[in-house]
Structure 1
């Protein structure tokens, strides 16, 4: 009888230990399985966003090549006239970004470029297009911000959007002899660089060395300035939009690759942990059987 009680005690102790170990290991397996499920869902989202960004990039590039004619025409106007501004000329900076994220450091590049050009003219005013650069610049140079625009980047920018922005800037009473637009210039599907395009006032343009080659009446100069500013803003908006779609596609591609690597890592961890659980349960069963 005592021997039977001893054996029953061993079986009873094993019966208590097995559920504790099994419960702990099963909890770990559930955690790993839940993590795997989350990563797979994220990978599906990033892959879908990459596909959408690739489609939008093709349309954005087409619109960008068409819009470049507008900006280059304005640049050619001032370059041919050899228009320039003196160092003491009042300058207005326009930073072009958008409201959307998940596209790497594309908005930060505009912010850094704006701060760089602002260093030489710290008293200059800034107009910001897009909430992303607005948030960054409002923390760093809030005293220079005079006007901001949002609802930027929802679709491919149009000339009407640029004209509306131009009308708001001019009607606000902001006076500047020179306007420098800071934007991201599209270089390739994987490369972009911050750039600036300049627009000059009618006084500076009229005093240009080669202004005489243009037969422009005085009452047309104001309209010409507004049109040149709208052209430059439209060009910067479309270039920036193409860069944003390219950066978002690359970001989602990198995110999908990272998710794939994490899935492989956690799948291996899950299989190893599962093997450990099975091995532990077999050991417990063999130990209990040996005790009998």
Structure 2
């Protein structure tokens, strides 16, 4: 019996060593993954703090820029122009990601609006590389202009004026402009919205504008200035929405990383305890055999 036990012990010891090696390899993998997730948590926390700081500035700028949009609405509501004709859609997004679904939100709204009007009757201008990539596949033939590198920081009226000048110089024909953007509802919510701006010809033909003898240059300047005002208002509001969405996305990512760290730490501790127990079993077995 003793000879059988002596023959079995080497096999058991070899099997135990293999199991220990596998456990140590698994523990090293968990330890490396823990380190990676902790680094990710640090990055997402930093991005969340930066987005929170930028959000406060963006909200102040948005409140100041809303007066531009309100002034435009007063002009166009009092004009009582008839709807219809060729429309120009301007989609407002950004070049950066890691901010939730704000880009797909405006892209879906733009696709719905273009489909309702008919793709052959509409022109398209896209501000931001993210929505550009989503819209060019289906509506590339409608695209007149695309812009990027606008609104890296808080957008200014100069940015909006530059976009307006390039649209005017492009010679695209339209009766009204529909700005598709993300409306800032609260710090945790947004929704796709559309702001309408009338063209020079539509303003001239509106009933309330015909009453006054307005020179052509003045009407043209009013139409261009109104378009720049509207673009500025939605650029700033879209920027505030982006900062809010990025902060929320990074907050969610940090919480998920923290949950994963807790889970991996528990798994690591259990594996380490199991490895220690196996070593103790080997020691006690060896001592008993001696």
Q: Confirm or deny: 8 A CA contact 1:11 1:288 kept in the other structure.
A: no
Question: Shift of the alpha carbon at 1:280?
Answer: 1.1
CA 57–213 in structure 1, closer or farther in 2 if over 3 Å, else same: farther
Mapping 1:87-166, distance limit 5 Å: 89-121=85-117, 122-123=119-120, 124-166=122-164
CA distance in 2: counterparts of 1:216 and 1:51, whole angstroms? 52
Q: Confirm or deny: 8 A CA contact 2:150 2:159 kept in the other structure.
A: no
2:25 matched to 1:27? yes
Is the partner of 2:90 in helix, strand or coil? Answer: strand
CA distance in 1: counterparts of 2:217 and 2:8, whole angstroms? 105
2:237 is matched with: 239
CA 259–214 in structure 1, closer or farther in 2 if over 3 Å, else same: farther
Could you tell me which runs of 5 or more consecutive residues in structure 2 were left unpaired when the two chains were aligned: none
Q: Confirm or deny: 8 A CA contact 1:7 1:291 kept in the other structure.
A: no
2:202 is matched with: 204
Q: Confirm or deny: 8 A CA contact 1:14 1:284 kept in the other structure.
A: no
Question: Shift of the alpha carbon at 1:65?
Answer: 0.5
CA distance in 2: counterparts of 1:213 and 1:145, whole angstroms? 36
CA distance in 1: counterparts of 2:252 and 2:212, whole angstroms? 51
Is the partner of 1:141 in helix, strand or coil? Answer: helix
2:66 is matched with: 68
What do the CA deviations read for 1:135-192 (whole angstroms, capped 9, x no partner)? 0001222222221001133110000000001111110111111111100111110111
Question: Shift of the alpha carbon at 1:83?
Answer: 2.2
Number of equivalenced pairs = 288
2:7 matched to 1:38? no
